[in-house]
Amino acid sequence: QCLEDQRSLLFELKSDLIFNSTQSLKLVLWNQTQDCCNWDGVECDGVGHVINLQLDGEGISGGIHNMSSLSGLRYLEKLNLAGNDFGSQIPSGILNLKHLMHLNLSDAGFRGQVPIEVSLMRRLVTLDLSYKLGYNSLEIEDLNLKMLLQNLTGLRELYLDGIQMSSA
């Protein structure tokens, strides 16, 4: 069963996100009166902590305005925001999710430098920052790539297709 604080964090996140309710198959159905561990795109551990959030292809646009809800979901091990149109930098709040093992931000409309703090997410096994569809404006500098790889010793899959890389 979903814990109360997890439910309210999820609901705050839903209220904060702008999404196209025609395209959305999950967020649009989140219903306060039901156990949030049964909400589409949400998975909990045995205690009721949300450990998996799959919000790929939900027609989300316009960024995350208040990160406190997402970064409050601190037990998350898997986060998928792929195939949306956030149109912002990768929010630093995501990087506070220290239990994350699988992070998928592919084709999610994030732009700018990939923050170096990604290298502090020590448990990452899979990191997908690739752009396969539209024009990509995520950038990574070679120094950052070096830092990224140095400390992410558990990383097994890294997808950087379509990312702009500079090298000295």
Q: Exposed (0-12), middle (13-18) or buried (19+): which is 67, by Cβ within 10 Å?
A: middle
Asked if residue 52 binds ligand NAG (CB under 6 A), the reply is: no
Record the tokens describing residue 118, joined without a space. Answer: 């990604």
Please list the alpha-helical segments (H only) found in the chain.
Answer: 4-16, 68-72, 142-151
Query: How many chain residues are in contact with ligand NAG, going by CB under 6 A?
Result: 24
Closest to ligand NAG by CB, 75 or 119: 119
Residue in 124, 116, 118, 82 with CA at minimum distance from that of residue 99: 124
Is 42 strand, coil or helix? strand
Contact with ligand NAG (CB under 6 A): which of 3, 20, 115, 162?
20
Q: Is 58 in the site for ligand NAG (CB under 6 A)?
A: no
| Sequence letter at residue 125 | V
Piece of the chain touching ligand NAG by CB under 6 A; list 42-50, 89-97, 134-142, 145-153: 145-153
Binding residues for ligand NAG, rule: CB under 6 A, are: 12, 20, 22-23, 31, 33-34, 56, 59, 66, 68, 80, 82-83, 104, 106, 119, 126, 128, 147, 150-151, 157, 159
